[in-house]
């Protein structure tokens, strides 16, 4: 763990792996960008989170008092220790008015086997996936119009059944919904 921490600090201070500013005008500015799947088609991030004991991630699938329904042997143990999430944006067009169009997806995977105040483990049992996807159009001056579809929480493995009296059902943290929204980008990053 120390070795990984030192490596991250070293990379941050030395700038290794950081994108360099182009010396010449970009291909997009000169009109030489490909029409389909330009160099910057994909953008995104992936993230890994760890929640310590007594601080589990609650996807709202089991009641908070799940331990009252069997103690450490209660069937509803869907409180997460680990979370892997990300965001992927796909901009498939490099020229014309279509270059402002994009598709995106935001999956979140949860893992663990815990019950608040009753059972704390480091288990990596799959719990489920929360996901949404949509399309957007860049309007200019940092504004983007987005249409988003958010799905019900999808349980994975043996947990895809009713888990007893503490089971709250399939909706998960947000349920299913569609939205149309406007996003405003502001500021710039130092790196």
Asked whether residue 63 is assigned to any structural domain, the reply reads: yes
Taking the alpha carbons at both ends of the chain, their separation in whole angstroms is 25
Asked whether residue 107 is assigned to any structural domain, the reply reads: yes
Asked whether residue 23 is assigned to any structural domain, the reply reads: no
Phi, psi of 34 (to 5 degrees): -65, 150
The three-state DSSP-derived secondary structure of 147-179 is: EEEECCCEECHHHCCCCCCCECCCCCCCCCEEE
Asked whether residue 15 is assigned to any structural domain, the reply reads: no
Contacts of 74 (CB under 8 A, 6+ apart): 66, 67, 68, 115, 118, 119, 164, 166
Q: According to the model, what pLDDT value does residue 31 have?
A: 57
Instruction: Give the pairing type, strands 177-184 and 143-150.
Output: antiparallel
Number of domains making up the chain: 1
Asked whether residue 10 is assigned to any structural domain, the reply reads: no
pLDDT along the chain (191 residues), means of 10: 47 43 46 79 94 91 92 93 96 89 95 93 94 95 94 88 85 83 88 71
Contacts of 54 (CB under 8 A, 6+ apart): 116, 120
Identify the domain containing residue 126 by its residue range: 38-184
Please identify which residue in the block is written with the tokens 């042997």.
73
Asked whether residue 155 is assigned to any structural domain, the reply reads: yes
Phi, psi of 91 (to 5 degrees): -115, 90
Q: According to the model, what pLDDT value does residue 109 have?
A: 96
Specify the DSSP element, H or E, that contains 45: strand 42-50
* Residues 116, 69: Cα–Cα separation, whole Å: 12
Please identify which residue in the block is written with the tokens 């070293």.
10
Q: According to the model, what pLDDT value does residue 170 have?
A: 75
Q: According to the model, what pLDDT value does residue 158 have?
A: 82
* DSSP string for 86-108: EEEEE--B-SSGGGGEEEEEEEE
Q: According to the model, what pLDDT value does residue 39 have?
A: 84
* Residues 163, 169: Cα–Cα separation, whole Å: 9
Q: According to the model, what pLDDT value does residue 32 have?
A: 75
Q: What is the CA radius of gyration of the chain?
A: 22
């Amino acid at each position: 763990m120390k070795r990984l921490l030192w490596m991250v600090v070293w990379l941050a201070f030395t700038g290794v792996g950081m994108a360099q500013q182009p010396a010449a005008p970009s291909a997009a500015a000169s009109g030489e960008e490909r029409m389909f799947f330009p160099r910057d088609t994909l953008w995104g991030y992936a993230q890994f989170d760890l929640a310590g004991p007594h601080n589990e991630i609650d996807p709202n699938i089991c009641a908070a008092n799940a331990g009252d329904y069997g103690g450490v042997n209660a069937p509803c143990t869907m409180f997460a220790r680990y979370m892997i999430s990300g965001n992927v944006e796909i901009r498939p067009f490099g020229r014309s008015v279509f270059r402002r169009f994009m598709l995106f997806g935001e999956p979140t995977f949860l893992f663990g086997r815990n019950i608040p105040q009753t059972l704390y483990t480091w288990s990596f049992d799959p719990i489920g996936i929360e996901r949404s996807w949509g399309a957007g159009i860049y309007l200019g001056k940092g504004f983007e119009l987005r249409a988003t579809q958010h799905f019900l929480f999808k349980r994975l493995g043996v947990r895809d059944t009713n888990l007893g009296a503490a089971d709250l059902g399939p909706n998960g943290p947000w349920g299913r919904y569609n939205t149309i929204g406007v996003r405003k980008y502001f500021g710039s990053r130092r790196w």
